[in-house]
Structure 1
Amino acid sequence: MNIEQIEEQGQLVLAAEECSPELFYVLHKFSAFEERIVRTLIAHGPVLLRGGRGSGKSTLMREAANRLNGKESTAFGIYLSLRYLPLLRESGPTYERFFCQLLTETINAALVDQGIDDINFPSVEHGGELQRALSNLANMVNKRIVLLFDDAAHLGRESASTEFFDLFRSISSRNVSCKASIYPGVTNFGKRFDVYNDATVIDVSREEGAEALAQFFSSVMEARYPTLPAKFTSSLRKNEVAAFLGKAVLGNMRAFVFACNKLSQFESSIGLPELTKCLIELCAGYFWPLLEEVQPKLGRYEPLVEPSKSLAVAIFKVCGDARSPSVIIHRDFCQHYAKPLEILEYAGFILKREASRALKKGGRGPRYAVNLANLLETTPGARLTQDLFSKWLETDRDDVAEIQRSSGAFEGIEMPSLLENRDLGILDSPVSAIAKSPAYPYGLTPKRLEVLESAGYKTIGDVVDASDAELTALPWIKEATLPKIRAVLAQAIWM
């Protein structure tokens, strides 16, 4: 694969789940902090990997599975993405049977991939049988079993989370280690699972120091965008731009790729005016549309997106006036607006850096870093100067804005009533909702939407339920384009 092909694929591949094995090693790089996470995923013991959208959870889990199945490994790793609609719709014994069937098929495929053709993992129907079968498998292969469950728990899908964590606890044993990725805001782990005693929780958030960010994101830029640094003007150094963009998106890899895509579109040289345009477009074309995209996926928490937007506006107004990329929010506000703040953290607007810190006028609260795209939008002048570039890149931790208990920043932001027994609204949304747009940059074209609607596929749920054979039988939808359609559907339904 030449440089042009690598750069083209690097711009298109946004999720580790969609990355081919050969391209995975070319595009993905790991910092020292992430290497420690991978080693924890490989080691014995249950682990929950927590982070927002695009923070790198899937990449870390896939890398752990790859290393577990290396030639010198003494463990057998099984990576399983739980992006399956029945796991969202079913509960009780039906959920358990489907989960067991899915894991059985994945394990048997992994055994074939490892050249272990003389062992067949049996079909089971509940957690007790699954636990015994996994222990027997560990004895037969003479290796420790490590199960890596990706996309295991989401904000707003509490019923499915309860079912999963009951199984997570049931199948864990001396020979079987379970790992799972979850999102901020997941609080319902079932009656049997104690998150603080039954697992180690690791937050996926990259270091905010300029040197660490420069080292990591420079290597990512070299891998995905090898020709981009040549466009930078003499006043901008590659390491500084990479570190600045990494800090701008709070270390979020998916947002970093979007930012680099924007920069790649400039035909002329790239200086501070182009970086300004990039951040403003990132704000309007990535962060705000992401809240619109996530709203119909939140189930009973769907009404909380509106107060989340209002909180974001208020937070960035305070930070913009102070020209500070982080803020301490009084803990009373954090308790009252807990879920909206978690939604903002999921979407990459803010990122909790410290759990508790003293405010100047009394009280304590967590310190949040804010993304620089939205911050620039609310900063007087909305223009990135050399002084602002240096200040935001090298900001001292004492330079922090504050929202105190007496502050009127959140005045008038009310918490609405939650919806009870609310199914995912996205499933009933029209197919046109996944047209190519800022919310779905790789969405479906008007022609394919017309074909689907003419064939009777009116809602997103209808298309997801259709088989591959049914979809490829339609005009303009062939086997080569089907994976892209499935990827858009996955983006629409899953967090």
Structure 2
Amino acid sequence: MRLQAEIVYRTEDIPTEDILNLLVETETDRSMIDSLKGRSPVILKGSRGVGKSFLMRAAEAEIRRDFGSQKILPVYVTFAQASLIRQNTPDSFLIWMMAKLCSSILRAASTFGLKLPGGSAITAIQGTAAIGNYSEMEKVKDIFESSWKQEKQEELPVAVPVPEVLRDAVEDLCRHTNIKRVVLFVDEAAHVFIPEQQRQFFTLMRDLRSPYLTVKAAVYPGATSYGYAFQPTHDATVLSVDRQVTDPEYASAMRSIVYKQDGSLKKQIEPNGDVFDTLAYAASGNPRILLKTLLMRSPFNRRSTQETIREYYREEIWGEHSNLADRFPGHRELIDWGRTFIEESVLPALHARNVGRTSQTSSYFWIHRDAPRAVREALRLLCYSGIVQEGDSGMRATRGEIGTRYMVNLGCLFAQDAEPIKFGQNVRKHLYVKRMVEYGANHPAYRPIDEFSLDAVNSGGNLALEAQLERSISHLDVTEFQRSKLDELGFRTIGEVLKSDEEAFKRAYYVGTKRARQMRNAAVTAVLEYLSG
């Protein structure tokens, strides 16, 4: 059984008006939200589930709230659909991005009652006419997002403007309506493992920068190619969404995240506070993982939590990482080696080092800067999955050599022990960041990928898209209620969910218009996240 609680673990499932009510604000979170609201471009970097989307939505909500006094227009757009874009021409992805941004900015302006000025730039991003209920730019966007299921792409109804025209149009809009600037929040900006698409986005991000338009982009660690035209440290402020487990307020903040969603859980959690804190540390700063593991079993107690840690951190989290190889064949060897390296080398070494210690426990390891490039690529993929967090680079090891420090997910470490709760309580209480297991430039564990060529990683796109659409809905990360309704409606494959509409969801018992929209959005979001990794 699972805890019966009204908890959601995806920001996409939270109504916009509830975002700020669910915000648990730490000092670090406040600093990030303020940066997201500011003038400078921002790259918000973090693995799945750490809260990138929530922070962007919180910043958007605060700007919306203060629109009357601050005169800043927030525009939120997600690029999760990028995994569905068929590359018919080299510039297909750029055209889709421009159409999506144009239509999103126009929609936001309309929402705030802003009257568009005349002029060639505005006309270019608006189009000359509406097509049914769609603007021309929205129609272009939909054509590209439907290209995955069509043999031949539909002809575009209008030419899409170049970045300079969009930049000029935003300036015209700001001057005409007395708006200070437009803040463009781009979620899932580099969601797919297609380097060429990623490079096109970051070039566009650089080209759109102006006093009237600033771009904030959420990306994943380990899966992002910025290209030569965009320099992250010079063209934007890079913020890492990693909640530090060494922060004294860490456990209380994670507990508040749960209580904000469902205060009734206090009755089960408070009598088992130390057990909950160990589960929170196991999540290594990832709220989604904490919520998922909290809901896995009921009642919440020491025994059930031990079973959860063993099941999730020995099996499920690794299964999610290994499944990336099915969706991205070029990364298979790196994915498999990375799992073997952590499971068979790093975790046993850390466990042995921590057993029986009452001071300076560790979940950290260090990699020499001259280790094979394939090793660093494999570690970045582990960061993408949330199994590893990249720490400080340029760190000196015991012999004075330079490298990078990483932290392995604490839950994976706790699960190594026969008594995960007892072991985890000791490790988290004495965690010492300077104590590391070290791997030099030529460590024997690297040998299986010493000769690995990165050419396969950096070429091509998602070669497995069609195969993934035929896979069972059991692969989707949805709630038990949503899964039961998908089964009830007769959906069997991922592709069937993606092709469905709200009317299809209304056929389920007790599902009306509002719930149908929420369910379809949640299911489609899970599909897009699955297809993109």
Instruction: Check 1:377–1:332 CA distance in 2 against 1; reply closer, same or farther (3 A cut).
Output: farther
Are 1:127 and 2:125 counterparts? no
Which of 386, 394, 419 in structure 2 is aligned with 1:348?
A: 386
Structure 1 residues 169 and 101, CA, compared in 2 at 3 Å: closer, same or farther?
same
Deviation, 1:78, is 0.8
Of 277, 281, 285, the residue aligned with 1:247 is 281
Superposed CA deviations along residues 242-269 of structure 1, whole A, max 9, x for unmatched, are: 543333222012111112213xx222x6
Q: Structure 1 residues 37, 427: CA separation in 2 closer, same or farther (over 3 Å shift)?
A: same
Give me the whole-angstrom Cα distance separating, in 2, the residues matched to 1:447 and 1:57: 28
The yes-or-no answer on 1:266 pairing with 2:295 is: no
**What's the counterpart of residue 340 of structure 2?**
310
1:52 counterpart SS class: coil
Matching residue within 103, 106, 116 for 1:105: 103
Residues 108-157 of structure 1: per-residue CA shift (max 9 Å, x gap): 22123223356695443221211111111121232211111111114621
Of the three residues 338, 353, 357, the one matched with 1:322 is 353
Whichever residue aligns with residue 298 of structure 2, its letter is F
SS in 2 for 1:196: helix
The one-letter amino acid paired with 1:179 is: K
Matches within 5 A, 1:4-83: 8-10=5-7, 13-71=8-66, 72-83=69-80
Which residue is 1:456 aligned to?
none
Q: Closer, same or farther in 2 for the Cα pair 1:135/1:471, shift >3 Å?
A: same
The TM-score, its normalising length taken from structure 1, stands at 0.84
Cα distance per residue 1:268-312 (max 9 Å; x no partner): x613x3332221122145311221343344363344221121122
Structure 1, unmatched stretches of 5+, are: 1-5, 454-458
Indicate whether 1:276 and 2:306 are aligned: yes
In 1, the alpha carbon distance for the partners of 2:30 and 2:329 equals: 35
In the comparison of the two structures, how many residue pairs are matched? 473
Q: Name the CA shift for 1:73/1:48 in 2 (closer, same or farther; >3 Å).
A: same
Q: Distance in 1 between matches of 2:4 and 2:25?
A: 19
Partners of 2:270 and 2:218 in 1: CA distance:
40
Amino acid at match of 2:305: L
Aligned equivalent of 1:428, options 455, 459, 466: 466
Q: Separation in 2 of the partners of 1:66 and 1:473? A: 30
Check whether the contact 1:285–1:438 (CA below 8 A) recurs between aligned residues.
no
Given residue 162 of structure 1, which amino acid in structure 2 is its aligned partner?
A: R
- Work out which of the residue numbers 240, 243, 257 in structure 2 matches 1:220: 257
Residue number among 383, 387, 403 corresponding to 2:419 in the alignment:
383
**Structure 1 stretch 473-482 or stretch 37-46: which is displaced more?**
473-482
- CA 415–444 in structure 1, closer or farther in 2 if over 3 Å, else same: farther
**Residues 24 and 253 of structure 2 are in contact (CA less than 8 Å); yes or no, is this contact kept in structure 1?**
yes
Residue 401 of structure 2 aligns with which residue? 363
**What's the counterpart of residue 243 of structure 2?**
206
Q: CA RMSD in A?
A: 3.3
1:84 maps to 81
Contact 1:146/1:178 (CA < 8 Å) preserved in 2? yes
Cα offset, 1:405, TM superposition:
4.3
SS in 2 for 1:259: helix
C-alpha distance in structure 2 between counterparts of 1:485 and 1:438, whole Å: 8
**Alignment partner of 1:168 out of 199, 205, 210:** 205
Given that 2:334 and 2:374 are in contact with CA atoms closer than 8 Å, whether structure 1 keeps it comes out as: no
TM-score normalised by length of structure 2: 0.79
- Distance in 2 of aligned mates of 1:86 and 1:363: 41
Flag the 1:421–1:473 CA change in 2: closer, same or farther, 3 A.
farther
- Residue number among 176, 193, 209 corresponding to 1:140 in the alignment: 176
Q: Which has the higher contact order (CA 8 A, sep 6+)?
A: 2
Alpha-carbon offset, residue 404 of structure 1: 3.6
CA spacing shift, 1:302–1:227, aligned 2, 3 Å: same
2:393 maps to amino acid: A
1:291 equivalenced with 2:321 (yes/no): yes
Equivalent AA in structure 2 for residue 74 of structure 1: K
User: How has the CA–CA distance of structure 1 residues 225 and 411 changed in structure 2, closer, same or farther, with 3 Å as cutoff?
Assistant: farther
CA distance in 2, matches of 1:58, 1:411: 38
Match of 2:219 in 1: 182
Residue 383 of structure 1: CA displacement?
0.9
The letter for the 2-side match of 1:77 is P
Report % sequence identity. 21
- Kept after mapping to 1: 8 A contact 2:223/2:380: no
